[in-house]
DNA sequence: ATAAAGTATACTAAAATAGTAAACAATGCG
DNA sequence: CGCATTGTTTACTATTTTAGTATACTTTAT
């Protein structure tokens, strides 16, 4: 029930990109260094994100990658889905025909509830939220200043 | 992010046992047939459940397995934990020292929220609930009788 | 032109998963 | 008693997935 490194590294990489503003391309090499992901492996994660239209790339010298749309429009559920595939804990959720019991299976119903619970978290977090959380951690709001 | 077959088969097997009442031992061979799990693989799932005190076994002729406590006291979270290990989507939840960023990591916080969402489902479903759901599916309540 | 980037494809090592095989141990029953 | 039935244990294996590396290629700014 572990997330693969794809989704983990990928979301960290995207947060890294989002944190640099979105003014000029961020080089993969930099991201790889900061996030301690091998450049070659990072490239594997970047490719599907480009195809999916989450980021776009600038080739050649001074190239790099940028978010292809505002951070507030990139949901974590989308990222996980691209890198990890569906989050369904069992295959019969997505594809009921794999098991003839699907329509009457109690355990299937439950795994579906589990999936929905996860989804409701991932659907409600955007890259923008993550950036805000990051800034808050970096520089916490003073708690209670005046009376 | 898939559940392993261990947790899936295991929870189906336990539901199967619970459905037979709890008056006499249920043979593994029967369970294996009904649930279409190979006997030998089923045994692998039964062993840790016995060690964990979820079920107890009766050896020899006329033997089999029974729930070791009332179905209402067996939570799905417990079953999944025994067969699957922790449900944490990333290792740093359980063991923060694997990554030096843990204390400041935004993505880690999020995976923790995901875990909690899953937990809240699994913690609130007992084998008894599953039995009831099964009976309801088998024999649905008539909706609106009078008026 | 050329160096600095991203792109694409192929390959591989390691781990996890799912399952099989077989010898063994306990028990009930005739 | 003795033997068939049933669970127990341990060892092994095939397959798949994951994570990662290697390498050759393409594009572009300067």
Dihedral over Cα of B90, B95, B100, B103: its sign: positive
Nearest to A11 by CA among A107, A60, A80, A61: A80
Q: Does residue A14 register a pLDDT over 90?
A: yes
Looking at residue B100, what is its pLDDT? 79
The answer to which of A12-16, A46-50, A95-99 has the lowest mean pLDDT is: A95-99
Interface membership of A31 toward B (CB under 8 Å): no
Q: Annotate B2-41 with DSSP letters as a single string.
A: PPPHHHHHHHHHHHHHHHTTTSSPBPHHHHHHHHT--HHH
- Identify from B3, B81, B106 which residue to disrupt to test chain A contact, counting A C-beta atoms within 10 A and taking the largest count: B106
Enumerate the β-bridge partners of residue B58.
Answer: B64
For A105, phi then psi, to 5°, come to: -90, 120
Looking at residue A95, what is its pLDDT? 84
Q: How many C-beta atoms lie closer than 10 Å to residue A100's C-beta?
A: 11
> CA–C1' distance B60–C25 (Å)?
9
For B63-121, write each residue's pLDDT tens digit: 999 999 999 999 999 999 999 988 899 989 888 888 877 778 999 999 999 999 999 99
Q: Does residue A146 register a pLDDT over 60?
A: no
Q: Does residue B34 register a pLDDT over 70?
A: yes
The answer to which of A21-25, A74-78, B13-17 has the lowest mean pLDDT is: A21-25
Looking at residue A46, what is its pLDDT? 95
- Mean of the pLDDT values across residues B3-32? 92
- Mean of the pLDDT values across residues A60-70? 93
CA A108 from chain center: how many Å?
A: 26
- Mean of the pLDDT values across residues A47-67? 93
Q: B97-108 burial string, b = 16+ CB within 10 Å, else e?
A: eeeeeeeebbbb
B38 touches strand C (CB under 7 A): yes
Query: What are the structural domains of chain B?
Result: 5-138 (1.10.10.10)
A57 touches strand D (CB under 7 A): no
Q: Where is pLDDT greater, at B35 or A142?
A: B35
Looking at residue B142, what is its pLDDT? 66
For A78-136, write each residue's pLDDT tens digit: 999 999 988 899 988 988 888 877 778 999 999 999 999 999 999 999 999 999 999 99
What is the average pLDDT value for chain B, to the nearest integer?
90
Looking at residue A86, what is its pLDDT? 87
Which positions in chain B touch A125 (Cβ < 8 Å)? 110
Looking at residue B146, what is its pLDDT? 55
Looking at residue A97, what is its pLDDT? 83
Q: Does residue A147 register a pLDDT over 60?
A: no
In whole angstroms, give the CA distance from residue B126 to residue A126.
34
Extract the tokens encoding A89: 């804990």
> CA–C1' distance A71–C19 (Å)?
45
Looking at residue A143, what is its pLDDT? 64
What is the average pLDDT value for chain A, to the nearest integer?
91
A47 touches strand D (CB under 7 A): no
For B64, phi then psi, to 5°, come to: 150, -160
* Count of residues making up chain B: 147
Interface size A-B, in CB pairs within 8 Å, comes to 90
What is the percentage of chain A residues whose pLDDT exceeds 90?
70
In whole angstroms, give the CA distance from residue B89 to residue A8.
10
């Amino acid at each position: 029930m572990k997330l693969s490194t794809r989704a983990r590294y990928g979301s960290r990489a995207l947060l890294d990109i989002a944190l640099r503003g979105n003014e000029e391309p961020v080089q993969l090499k930099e991201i790889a260094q900061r996030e301690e992901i091998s450049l070659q492996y990072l490239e594997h994660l970047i490719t599907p994100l480009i195809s999916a239209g989450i980021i776009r790339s600038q080739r050649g010298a001074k190239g790099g990658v940028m978010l292809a749309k505002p951070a507030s429009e990139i949901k974590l559920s989308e990222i996980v889905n691209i890198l990890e595939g569906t989050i369904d804990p069992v295959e019969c959720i997505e594809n009921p025909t794999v098991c003839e019991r699907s329509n009457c299976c109690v355990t299937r119903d439950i795994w579906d509830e589990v999936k929905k619970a996860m989804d409701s978290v991932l659907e409600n977090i955007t890259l923008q939220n993550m950036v805000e959380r990051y800034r808050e951690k970096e520089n916490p709001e003073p708690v209670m200043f005046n009376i």
